[in-house]
């Protein structure tokens, strides 16, 4: 019995594919390498991406529109490629080997990017402020850029799930630690982001792009060393085969048995007799009563019984059916995160435009760029992540009795409420700002004498909302995903950020068209002193409030996943 308790019971193995030993693998001894890797990787990513638009304009000679579109297209790609990386991880390679392969592509891309900005021949020749890049030099830069996008696609969806794999879900003591891991994981991301958005941006603008890209490349190399240094401590979940194939098998089998009646006694539904699931790397899932139509796929007909081996396109196990049900159940929660991501995206758009109209001076000689105020979002995350883990959770646990203090859905809901207040605070500031403009007749003044630091509260609230919603989302999608689909579900959660940006674009486009009819300036004109940006903030606050009420209904209807043999 003692020997049995020395090994994990969630299907994880060590690097030699033996059952993972609890004493020598996993837990925080493994996670310190994963967190170090993530901190350096995010420093590298934000270090080269935060100021990328300025490189395209100053060194590659692109206009504002072209440079902006290239950055957003590349950024969108960085949130699409995780779907590809996640599929490979869940289906064939496993999370460790997917990260190991893609991290090498990533560091190669960072190296090429640095060379394209520093080596004669690859580096555009400049005369003063005017640069004339050759077609080959531009091509080398974009090859490097999209190598990075491909590399990040294998890391983004896998690394958080890989870290969570280091804690045995069947062990109550380790399971409590897993919740803390997601807090410290997000903390490490923001440590990297803080250094990148402050120190590295300054180096790029004041020292040179050679150092500005070179330091992130070195950080990425350190990230690689961190990752491989912890290999002997890691616990690995085995890949379970193509998750998409299993999903389509259930759908096809259900429609093939359209006229078959599901028995009232659900124990009659087809499942393998073994204790383990027939899906590699996955525990058995208990039957649920939601989406009953798909239960038809697990009904064993006389025709199925005649076959010595079950045809998966005609007969599926209960666990396979429940996998599909789990994914369908996650989609409404996923969709409710898009509006939150839209609010989050305002930090890089409307908050910056609002800040551009305010006094940016710190003392008589130094000005802070309005985009740099996003530092206060990062500081907020760095402040609230440990506060949540060390103080809020223990306090909430006394009132709720829940191990995590709040359920994952409660945590995400709290973040949605805080995001509403962030929009309200931003709107109130804009009302005050416009009143100041009208009172003093500052309609055509570029920067009114009102400190930009009045924006700090709205950035700080967004950071606080992130700690609740984004970290809760990370944990929720890992925990509620079927065992063999965790990377794919993590990638799915990342797409809310991309869709939130797209929704923001759509809203701005619609608002501009509707409010500029009849020769009016509209809510968001080039001169914000003559516009009504506050109305746009109120619109987002109302949409966030409606989204929250819909979320409450979705959360109330949601049924948490239950593995066979579990008690909760």
Tokens 């608002």 label which residue? 511
- pTM here is 0.80
- When pLDDT is cut at 50, 70 and 90, the band that residue 90 belongs to is confident
Question: 262: buried, middle or exposed (CB in 10 Å: 19+, 13-18, 0-12)?
Answer: middle
pLDDT tops 60 at residue 54: yes
Structure confidence at residue 2 (pLDDT): 52
- The class level of CATH for 330-563 reads mainly alpha
The number of beta carbons lying within 10 Å of the beta carbon of residue 394 is 10
The DSSP call for residue 15 is T
All CATH 1.20.1250.20 domain ranges in the chain, comma separated: 24-239, 330-563
Structure confidence at residue 3 (pLDDT): 59
Between 183 and 415, the more confident residue is 415
- When pLDDT is cut at 50, 70 and 90, the band that residue 566 belongs to is low
Buried b (16+ CB within 10 A) or exposed e, 304-335: eeeeeebebebbbbbbbbbbbbbbebbeebbe
Q: What's the CA gap between 232 and 468, in Å, rounded?
A: 33
pLDDT, one tens digit per residue, over 68-80 is 667 777 877 888 8
- Lowest mean pLDDT, pick from 28-32, 301-305, 429-433: 301-305
Q: What's the CA gap between 565 and 25, in Å, rounded?
A: 25
pLDDT tops 60 at residue 496: yes
Q: What's the CA gap between 529 and 59, in Å, rounded?
A: 33
CB of 277 closer than 8 Å to CB of 237 = no
pLDDT tops 90 at residue 487: no
Residue 93: partners with Cβ closer than 8 Å, 6 or more residues away: 101, 239
Q: What's the CA gap between 259 and 273, in Å, rounded?
A: 26
Mean pLDDT confidence for 132-160: 91
- When pLDDT is cut at 50, 70 and 90, the band that residue 281 belongs to is low
CB of 147 closer than 8 Å to CB of 108 = yes
Q: What's the CA gap between 332 and 327, in Å, rounded?
A: 10
Q: What's the CA gap between 134 and 64, in Å, rounded?
A: 19
pLDDT tops 80 at residue 349: no
CATH 3.30.365.10: does it fit domain 24-239?
A: no
Beta strand 130-132 pairing with 448-451: unpaired
- Tell which residue, 291, 334, 48, has the closest CA to residue 192: 48
- When pLDDT is cut at 50, 70 and 90, the band that residue 169 belongs to is confident
Q: What's the CA gap between 198 and 152, in Å, rounded?
A: 22
């Amino acid at each position: 019995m003692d020997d049995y308790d020395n090994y994990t019971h969630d299907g994880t193995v060590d690097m030699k594919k033996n059952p993972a030993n609890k004493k020598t693998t996993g837990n925080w001894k493994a996670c310190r390498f994963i967190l170090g890797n993530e901190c350096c990787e995010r420093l590298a990513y934000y270090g080269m991406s935060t100021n990328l638009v300025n490189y395209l304009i100053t060194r590659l000679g692109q206009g504002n529109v072209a440079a902006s579109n290239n950055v957003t297209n590349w950024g969108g790609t960085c949130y699409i490629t995780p779907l590809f990386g996640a599929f490979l991880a869940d289906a064939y390679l496993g999370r460790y080997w997917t990260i190991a392969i893609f991290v090498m592509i990533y560091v190669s891309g960072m190296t090429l990017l640095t060379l394209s900005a520093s080596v004669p021949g690859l580096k555009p020749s400049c005369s003063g402020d005017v640069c004339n890049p050759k077609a080959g030099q531009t091509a080398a830069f974009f090859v490097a850029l999209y190598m990075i996008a491909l590399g990040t696609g294998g890391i983004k969806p896998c690394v958080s799930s890989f870290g969570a794999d280091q804690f045995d879900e069947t062990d109550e003591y380790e399971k409590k630690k897993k919740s803390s891991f997601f807090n410290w994981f997000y903390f490490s991301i923001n440590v990297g982001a803080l250094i990148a958005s402050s120190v590295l941006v300054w180096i790029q603008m004041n020292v040179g792009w050679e150092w500005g890209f070179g330091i992130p490349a070195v950080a990425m190399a350190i990230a690689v060393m961190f990752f491989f240094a912890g290999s002997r401590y890691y616990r690995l979940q085995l890949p379970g085969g193509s998750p998409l194939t299993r999903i389509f098998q259930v759908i096809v089998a259900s429609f093939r048995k359209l006229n078959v009646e599901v028995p009232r006694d659900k124990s009659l539904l087809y499942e393998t007799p073994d204790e383990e699931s027939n899906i590699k790397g996955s525990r058995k899932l208990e039957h649920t009563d939601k989406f009953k139509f798909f239960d038809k796929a697990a009904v064993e007909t006389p025709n199925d019984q005649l076959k010595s081996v079950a045809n998966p396109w005609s007969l599926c196990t209960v666990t396979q059916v429940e996998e599909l049900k789990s994914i369908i159940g996650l989609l409404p929660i996923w969709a409710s995160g898009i509006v939150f991501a839209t609010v989050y995206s305002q930090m890089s758009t409307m908050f910056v435009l609002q800040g551009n109209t305010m006094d940016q001076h710190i003392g008589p000689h130094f000005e802070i760029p309005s985009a740099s105020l996003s530092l206060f979002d990062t500081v907020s995350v760095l402040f609230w992540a440990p506060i949540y883990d060390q103080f809020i959770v223990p306090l909430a646990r006394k009132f709720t009795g829940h191990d995590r203090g709040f359920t994952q859905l409660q945590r995400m809901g709290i973040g949605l409420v805080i995001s509403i207040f962030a929009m309200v605070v931003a709107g109130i500031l804009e009302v005050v700002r416009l009143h100041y403009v009208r009172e003093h007749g500052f309609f055509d003044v570029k920067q009114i004498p009102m400190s930009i630091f009045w924006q700090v509260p709205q950035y700080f609230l967004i950071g606080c909302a992130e700690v609740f919603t984004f970290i809760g989302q990370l944990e929720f999608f890992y925990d509620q995903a079927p065992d063999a689909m965790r990377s794919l579900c993590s990638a799915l959660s990342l797409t809310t950020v991309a869709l939130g940006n797209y929704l923001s674009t759509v809203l701005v486009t619609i608002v501009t068209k509707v409010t500029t009819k009849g020769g009016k300036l509209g809510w968001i004109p080039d001169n914000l002193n003559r516009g009504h940006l506050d109305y746009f903030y109120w619109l987002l606050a109302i949409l966030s409030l409606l989204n929250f009420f819909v979320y409450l209904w979705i959360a109330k209807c949601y049924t948490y996943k239950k593995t066979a043999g579990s008690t909760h």
